[in-house]
Amino acid sequence: MWRAILLLPFALLVPPLRADSPKPNIVYILADDLGYGDVKCCNPQGKIATPNMDQLAAAGMIFTDCHSSSAVCSPTRYSIMTGRYNWRSPLKQGVLGGYSQRLIEPDRFTVPLLLKQHSYHTACIGKWHLGMNWPLKDGGFARDYPDGWKVDYSKPIQNGPNAVGFDYYFGISASLDMPPYIFIENDRTVGIPTVEKQNNPPRKGPAHKDFEPIDVLPELTRRALKYIDERANESKPFFLYLPLNAPHTPIEPTAEWKGKSGLNAYGDFVMQVDWTLGQVMAALEKHNLIGNTLIVMTSDNGCAPAANFPELASKGHHPSYVFRGHKADIYDGGHHIPFIASWPGRIKPGSHSDQLVYLGDLMATCADILGAKLPDNAGEDSVSLLPAFTGKAGKPLHEAVVHHSANGSFAIRQGKWKLELCPGSGGWSFPRPGLDGSDKLPLVQLYDVTSDVSEKVNVQNEHPEVVKALTELLEKYVADGRSTPGQPQKNSGDVDIWKAGREAQIIRKK
Q: What is the identity of the amino acid at 486?
A: G
Among 17, 29, 27, 32, CA closest to 307 = 32
145 in helix, strand or coil?
coil
Q: Note the pLDDT tens digit of each residue in 355-388.
A: 999 999 999 999 999 999 999 999 999 999 999 9
DSSP state string for 34-103: --GGGSTTT-TT--S--HHHHHHHHTSEEETTEE-SSSSHHHHHHHHHHSS-GGGSS--SS---TTPPP-
Helices 216-231 and 265-286: angle between axes, nearest 10 degrees: 10
Per-residue burial over 159-182, b = 16 or more CB atoms within 10 Å of its CB, e = otherwise: bbbbbbbbbbbbbbbbbbbbbbbb
Please tell me the distance from the alpha carbon of residue 182 to that of residue 196, in angstroms, as a whole number. 11
Ranges of each domain in the chain: 24-389, 401-509
Residues of the chain with pLDDT under 50: 1-18
* pLDDT value for 1: 35
Q: Note the pLDDT tens digit of each residue in 187-230.
A: 999 999 999 998 877 789 999 999 999 999 999 999 999 999 99
75: which residues sit within 8 A by CB, 6+ positions away?
69, 86, 87, 89, 91, 95, 404
* pLDDT value for 498: 96
Q: For 401-509, CATH number?
A: 3.30.1120.10
* pLDDT value for 393: 86
Given CATH 3.40.720.10, say whether it is the number of domain 24-389.
yes
Predicted TM-score (pTM) above 0.85: yes
Please tell me the distance from the alpha carbon of residue 264 to that of residue 470, in angstroms, as a whole number. 41
Per-residue burial over 435-456, b = 16 or more CB atoms within 10 Å of its CB, e = otherwise: ebebbebebbbbbbbeeeebbe
Q: Note the pLDDT tens digit of each residue in 127-152.
A: 999 999 999 999 999 987 789 999 99
* pLDDT value for 8: 30
* pLDDT value for 10: 26
DSSP state of 382: -
What are phi and psi for residue 127, nearest 5 degrees? Answer: -80, 120
CA angle 307, 308, 313 (to 5 degrees): 110
